[in-house]
Amino acid sequence: MSFLREIIEEITEAFLVEAVRLGKFDLGHFRFLPDLVTVNEYPNGKLQFLGHGSSRNTWVFSSGKVLKAAYNDAGIAQNEQELKIAQMPEVSDIVTKIYDYDRDGNKWLISEIVRPLSGFQEFESLAGISFPAFKDFLQEWSRGNHTTPDEMFDDLIENQEMKLEDINPRNVQAINAIKRRLLDYRATRNNPFLRKMLVLISKGLLPGDLANWDLSDNSSSVSHYGKSGDGRIVLMDYGFSDDVYRGHYKSAASVSPPSEDIYGV
């Protein structure tokens, strides 16, 4: 994502306006391209290439939009998932907007381009919740042991309070970690961004992907989040659902979140 951030920052309005004025990219022609090969070949040399993931290529389409084109079946499935979520009123303001899409097979979509977040501090400033607490809530909600978010919050707070009562009073580091967690839990249980992210998990998105867990070292990052032009924190890539994982990735690798405690307890 650092590469993506650098490219976005280097792109100037003048370049984008000139590219559109020259008419190098014909959207009307692009709509009728018949397959994934031609869909991925046509933008090259006409639009600024941003990069690629496991299933999609990405180009700058205009000053505020990005073109995502699938290059395999997994990419088509992710496009379908993003389109479905973007049309849900209850979460549409925390994901990048979709302005246009392929109506004949979901081979591509045009979505909002946003600036990737600089780090955990900016995430907390925009989301109003610390990333460790955010990650905890996502992981716990995904287990499916609670019928409502409020029930989950109550159980998590009670669990930490019990730990605090039972812990060795000489273990200052652990006591402070639990107190930090309790402060986070109590302060953010009604956080609107968090509540909407829990809805996304209920719709099948994977917490390990939303928190960008790296299973090799149990680290996380905010690389899947960005800041929109109107100041919103948004999820940039939201096509990796449980159905997509099981249908296209499960045999290749596991994406189950690790159980290690990120607060240090």
For 39-63, the pLDDT digits (tens) are 999 999 999 999 998 899 999 999 8
Which pLDDT band holds residue 6 (cuts at 50, 70, 90)?
low
Is residue 264 situated within a structural domain? no
Same domain, yes or no, for 242 and 131? yes
pLDDT of residue 51: 92
Is residue 192 situated within a structural domain? yes
Same domain, yes or no, for 169 and 211? yes
Domains: count for the chain: 2
Same domain, yes or no, for 152 and 81? no
Task: Write the CA distances from 203 to 90, 91, 109, 139, 196, integer angstroms.
Answer: 12, 11, 20, 15, 11
Interval 239-247 mean pLDDT: 88
Q: DSSP character for 241?
A: B
Buried b (16+ CB within 10 A) or exposed e, 186-217: eebbebebbbbbbbbbebbbbbbbbbbbeeee
Same domain, yes or no, for 66 and 97? yes
pLDDT of residue 213: 64
Q: Are 212 and 131 in contact (CB under 8 A)?
A: no
Same domain, yes or no, for 37 and 62? yes
Is residue 261 situated within a structural domain? no
pLDDT of residue 207: 84
Same domain, yes or no, for 54 and 134? no
pTM for this model (two decimals): 0.80
pLDDT of 134 above 70: yes
Q: What is the pLDDT of residues 94-123, one digit of tens each?
A: 999 999 999 999 999 999 999 999 999 999
Structural domain ending residue among the three candidates 93, 113, 133: 113
Same domain, yes or no, for 130 and 97? no
Residues paired with 44 in a beta bridge? 47
Q: Which range (75-79, 168-172, 213-217) has the least confidence?
A: 213-217
Which pLDDT band holds residue 5 (cuts at 50, 70, 90)?
low
Between CA 224 and CA 116 the distance in angstroms is 8
pLDDT of residue 263: 31
Is residue 158 situated within a structural domain? yes
| Range(s) of the domain holding residue 207 | 120-248
User: In whole angstroms, what separates CA 165 from the centre of its chain?
Assistant: 37
Same domain, yes or no, for 158 and 229? yes
Same domain, yes or no, for 61 and 90? yes
Same domain, yes or no, for 124 and 109? no
Is residue 183 situated within a structural domain? yes
Q: What is the pLDDT of residues 138-162, one digit of tens each?
A: 989 999 899 999 999 999 999 999 9
